[in-house]
């Protein structure tokens, strides 16, 4: 497995070994020992799966009292996956990093606790699976505006056709978020 560290401490991209032949391919999407060796020592306790159409933007989401680290994998299609450091006091507060995850590249991205997470769908459809380090707690979900100009995410889609939930369209900019709802660094 190839481990790629990003410019933001804790956000890691994984490239698992893929065994291809005339029948197709095989890969291990998760083997705890390999991820522990890479520094992910927290157990994963919940798996999620989303299906979305082209232009869908999900995020930027985070949890406060039960923060979730997320190991994201695109099973079918292609997405642009993003992590934003929203930890107050962090030296990289307000910075983002992103990468393309796809059925073709088999990459995974780990987004640590204390980060906002989001993605946009680049293909006609995409199935996205992610492992979480804590269970979802209703009422503990928060968001930051997906296209906050102060963060400056370079989304590789036409922003005028982005499909968002009503809730995600109403999220505040990071600078306007209630500080009591932001994690500490």
**DSSP SS3 for 94:** coil
> Under DSSP, is residue 166 helix (H, G, I), strand (E, B) or coil?
helix
Token couple for 103 = 């059925």
CA distance 75 to 38: 22
Report helix, strand or coil for 32. Answer: helix
- List residues with catalytic annotation: 61, 130
The number of angstroms, rounded, from the C-alpha of 108 to the middle of its chain's C-alpha atoms is 9
Structure-token match 């923060």, residue found = 67
């Amino acid at each position: 497995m190839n481990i790629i560290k990003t410019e933001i401490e804790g956000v890691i991209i994984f490239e698992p070994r893929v065994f291809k032949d005339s029948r197709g391919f095989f890969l291990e999407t998760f083997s705890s020992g390999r991820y522990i060796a890479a520094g992910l020592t927290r157990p994963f306790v919940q798996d999620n799966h989303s299906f979305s159409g082209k232009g869908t933007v999900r995020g930027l989401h985070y949890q406060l009292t039960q923060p979730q680290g997320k190991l994201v994998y695109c099973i079918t299609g292609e997405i642009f996956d993003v992590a934003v450091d929203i930890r107050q006091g962090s030296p990289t507060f307000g910075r983002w990093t992103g990468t393309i995850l796809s059925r073709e590249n088999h990459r995974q991205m780990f987004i640590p606790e204390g980060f906002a997470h989001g993605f946009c769908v680049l293909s006609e459809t995409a199935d996205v699976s992610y492992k979480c380090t804590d269970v979802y707690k209703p009422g503990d979900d928060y968001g930051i505006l997906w296209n906050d100009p102060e963060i400056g995410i370079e989304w590789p889609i036409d922003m005028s056709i982005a499909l968002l939930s009503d809730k995600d369209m109403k999220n505040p900019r990071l600078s306007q978020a209630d500080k009591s709802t932001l994690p500490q660094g």
